[in-house]
Amino acid sequence: MIIVLKPHAPENKLKEIVEITIKLGYEPKIIKGVEHTVIAAVGDERKNQSLESLKNHPYVQNVLPIQKPYKLASREYHPKCTKVKIGNYFIGAGHFQVIAGPCAVESYEQMRQATSDVFKTGVRIIRGGAYKPRSSPYAFQGLGEEGLNILQAMKDEFKVAVVTEVVGVTHIDKIAEVADCIQIGARNCQNYHLLEMVAKSDKPVLLKRGMSTTINEWLSAAEYLLVNGCPSVILCERGIRTFETATRNTMDVGAIAVAKQESHFPVIADPSHAAGRVNLVLPLAKAAIAAGADGLIVEAHPDPVNACSDAAQQIKSDEFHKFMESIEPLIKICCSK
Ligand code: PEP
Ligand code: MN
């Protein structure tokens, strides 16, 4: 941390601030300028108490962090791209994956049809929520354990890998029995207790960016998963809340590029939740691939009009091949091993 004192701060105040930094576990190095004195407080900001509180000191002008709040997730720490294994399939480091399936598991027939349709197009990792976080508490919240059993049946029949969301700590063990990768949804990106408990399940985690989290906060959440024992993280940009209403969320294409530069983990995009409307899913998917995404997670449903959740944005699963054919040339250009 760098502590910048106000111009002409008296010696006794400098001494006072130096003592506080020592008390908080840092080694202070004083640099005296013509007007400003600066203290470089040496120490690990993740292990020691933050010096941010010094911003409230009458003789401190500013406190600036030097370290990023994420280390294990950073490219500085691990320059090469990391590939993550979901079931038998790799994602990242040149391995592009399209994860597809309905928003929610609604029935065996619905899930089987969706899986069969997307499987035919080459998809090997399916999605489907057994537990659904919803904007309204009165909306469909998923089939729960019955949904997990249906996902298991898909694995048994199609040998696909499964990504499914966790919304509460009490479901983690059951979900981990079926899921090859556990999804933390946008609404839970900063639910640190949930992150901590999911990290202990030893499964890779697909971490959606919260609708109002900064990239820094999102990567810090990834770091928290790693620190708590999670083997690997897949970062997912799914659109953020802005003033714009033409799309459900604003897909932050820039965030894909930033996350790829800042972190060694795979970064994927969810054009479905960003778009909110089926006819915008393809262009947003293309934008994400062009920005460097390592994969996509896309909603597909056999009968979107009658879907229990997110009806407007789901691609009809028997038309999913058109989506796959449209993105294929771009994947070849943008994603190389
Ligand atoms: C989902 O993937 O179905 C979902 C609820 O996504 P998000 O958390 O991005 O809203
Ligand atoms: Mn959805």
DSSP 127-146: E-BSS---SSTTS----THH
Q: Is 94 left (phi over 0), alpha (psi -120 to 50) or beta?
A: left
Q: Which residue has the tokens 């999102």?
A: 218
Ligand 1: which of 134, 208, 297 to mutate, judged by most atoms within 8 Å of the beta carbon? 208
- Quote the pTM value: 0.92
Q: What are phi and psi of 280, to 5 degrees?
A: -105, -5
Q: Give 296-313 pLDDT, tens digit per residue.
A: 999 999 999 999 999 999
Residues around ion ligand 2, judged by CB within 5 A, are 103, 310
Q: Tell whether the model's pLDDT for residue 47 goes beyond 80.
A: no
Is the Cβ atom of 185 under 6 angstroms away from ligand 1?
yes
**Among protein residues, the one whose CA lies closest to atom 6 of ligand 1:** 185
Helix (H) or strand (E) holding 32: strand 27-32
Integer Cα distance of 228 and 188 in angstroms: 16
Q: Give 262-303 pLDDT, tens digit per residue.
A: 999 999 999 999 999 999 999 999 999 999 999 999 999 999
Cα(79) to centroid(ligand 1), Å: 30
Number of other residues whose CB lies within 10 A of the CB of residue 108: 15
Q: Which residue has the tokens 């998923």?
A: 142
User: Which atom of ligand 1 is nearest the CA belonging to 310?
Assistant: 3
Is the Cβ atom of 208 under 6 angstroms away from ligand 1?
yes
Q: Tell whether the model's pLDDT for residue 46 goes beyond 80.
A: no
Contact 80, 63 (CB under 8 A): no
The pair of structure tokens assigned to 97 is 């994956």
**Among protein residues, the one whose CA lies closest to atom 1 of ligand 1:** 103
Q: Give 158-205 pLDDT, tens digit per residue.
A: 999 999 999 999 999 999 999 999 999 999 999 999 999 999 999 999
Cα(226) to centroid(ligand 1), Å: 22
pLDDT value at position 337?
A: 66
Q: Is 30 left (phi over 0), alpha (psi -120 to 50) or beta?
A: beta
Integer Cα distance of 106 and 139 in angstroms: 13
The pair of structure tokens assigned to 325 is 């054919």
Ligand 1: which of 106, 205, 273, 309 to mutate, judged by most atoms within 8 Å of the beta carbon? 273
Q: Which amino acid is at 142?
A: G
Is the Cβ atom of 129 under 6 angstroms away from ligand 1?
yes
Q: Which ligand is nearest to the CA of 297?
A: 1
**Among protein residues, the one whose CA lies closest to atom 4 of ligand 1:** 185
Q: How confident is the model at residue 228 (pLDDT cuts 50, 70, 90)?
A: very high
Q: How confident is the model at residue 57 (pLDDT cuts 50, 70, 90)?
A: very high
